[in-house]
Structure 1
Amino acid sequence: MTAAFEMQRQMIEQTQEMTHEAIDVQKETVHQFVDTMENMESLAEQNNDVSKQTWHAMFDAMESMMPEGSADFSEFEKMVDDGFDQLTESQQQAFDAMNDAMADGASAYDEFADAYVDAVDSSFDSFLDTHEQVEADVEDVTESVSA
């Protein structure tokens, strides 16, 4: 009987350990998602810069095809610059708000996960205590029957 109780106890302890590992993976996933959003912010900025440079290159190409001094694209270039500056500013504000909200969410999830782990540990500890008591009771009954 002792071997059966030991096997059960090991299975319970392994389940508890797997629960801890699963929660750790979930917490890490949440934090990686937050980091990914920061990378998206950087990509958006790079995209804006490339798009802006593309427009400037297009204006330069158009100007080079025209007779010298016949066209001035500087106003168009200024409008493109202003538009991309406004877009970048708006995106930055949106990303800042989103990153703040995600960081707060990740912190809240960490707190929830830690509380959950504490509750799981408490439940496992109570169950193991009860399991040990049942094992002791079974051993007592077995000894009484054997005698």
Structure 2
Amino acid sequence: MNNNPFAPMFELQRQSIEQNQKMIEQSIEVQNEMSKSFVKAVESQKSAQEKGVDAWKSATETSLNVADATTPTDSTAFTDLQETINDQFDALSDIHTDVWESAERNIEAGTEVSDDMNEILLSFINDSVEIAMKTSEQFEEQSETVVDATDVEIE
């Protein structure tokens, strides 16, 4: 039987250390999940924006086709206008692609840095917890030695 009156304190200390470790691990896990969710949200936003531009282009082409069909002239003005508008939509599409590719590269790089930092942090936390637990056990052993040396009976 352990007659060390400090034993419960050391046990409580170790439980607290373990709980803090679990809390930090869960916090990092939540952060990682949030990063994944952000990447998915960006991908969804990119897709939605692309569809919006396609719908806008289609509506514009339809409007020009209707105007061309209802105008009683053999002018190439509508054809020229359609070509100009198509060129502008192509330029917009190129810009859109460049912007999203850049954003995706930056997000990916940021996510990789975050993952690396979290891995380093977890390693540091695990090492620190291991040291703290060993230190607590050593102090408990030393306190037992002191208690045993004093020959005090605890009832």
TM-score normalised according to structure 1 size: 0.87
* Structure 2, unpaired ranges of 5+: 1-5
1:3 aligned to 5, 8, 11, which one? Answer: 8
2:46 aligned to 18, 41, 48, which one? Answer: 41
CA contact (8 A) 1:63 1:71 kept: no
RMSD: 1.9
In structure 2, the partner of 1:126 is 131
Q: CA deviation at 1:36?
A: 2.0
In structure 1, the partner of 2:3 is none
Q: CA deviation at 1:64?
A: 4.8
Q: CA deviation at 1:70?
A: 5.7
1:136 matched to 2:141? The reply is yes
Q: CA deviation at 1:118?
A: 0.6
1:20 matched to 2:17? The reply is no
Counting matched residue pairs gives 146
Distance in 1 (alpha carbons) for counterparts of 2:49 and 2:88: 15
Q: Which moved more, 1:125-134 or 1:55-64?
A: 55-64
In structure 2, the partner of 1:81 is 86
Q: CA deviation at 1:79?
A: 1.6
Q: Which runs of 4+ in 1 moved over 6 A?
A: none
Distance in 2 (alpha carbons) for counterparts of 1:82 and 1:64: 21
Sequence identity (%): 25
Distance in 1 (alpha carbons) for counterparts of 2:15 and 2:75: 82
Larger Rg: 2
